[in-house]
Amino acid sequence: MVKLEPTRQKIPTKKVLIYLLLILTYDPSKMSIYSRESLPATGIAPVSDPGTGRSVHVFPNPAGSFVELQIFDEQADIQYLSIVSMNGQVHKSITIPSNHFRLDLQDLQNGLYLFQFFSPQNALIDHQKILVLH
């Protein structure tokens, strides 16, 4: 049997509380991010977890020559999308035509892009990282 000796090292209270919270909230039955019920009709897992409250799903990821965008929350009032490379260059800015549409990506080079979704008042509503591989 191992005998534990008291330590004089002071552990920050914040780290202890976070660790305890993680232990108390651990639930192995919820280890899978997606259930069959949460998948879109295409059978492709969305980029974001439906449990996070995100209103837009972009798939597939990684993407080839196109992505599909599906807006689930009609109250989100998303007006346009900006596609920004990781160096900050805006490659596309388009008006959202409908709640479900296909977007051509053939003019983008291979790389990681940030899809930013904005309201009519230019407020950022959501963002997602998409990897483009042709």
Domains identified in the chain and CATH numbers: 39-132 (2.60.40.3080)
Angle at 118 between CA 117 and CA 120, to 5 degrees: 150
Is the pTM here over 0.85, yes or no? no
Report the alpha-carbon distance of residue 33 to residue 49 in Å, rounded: 7
Q: Which residue has the tokens 């090292």?
A: 9
List, in sequence order, the alpha helices (H) in 1-134: 13-25
Over residues 94-124, the pLDDT tens digits come to 999 998 999 999 999 999 999 999 999 999 9
Question: What mean pLDDT is reported for the chain?
Answer: 75
Over residues 64-102, the pLDDT tens digits come to 999 999 987 777 788 999 999 999 999 999 999 998 999
Select the more confidently predicted residue: 3 or 112. Answer: 112
pLDDT of residue 5: 65
Q: Beta-carbon neighbour count of residue 54 at 10 Å?
A: 20
Report the alpha-carbon distance of residue 60 to residue 42 in Å, rounded: 10
Q: What mean pLDDT comes out for the span 36-46?
A: 43
pLDDT of 39 over the 80 cut: no
Contact 39, 45 (CB under 8 A): yes
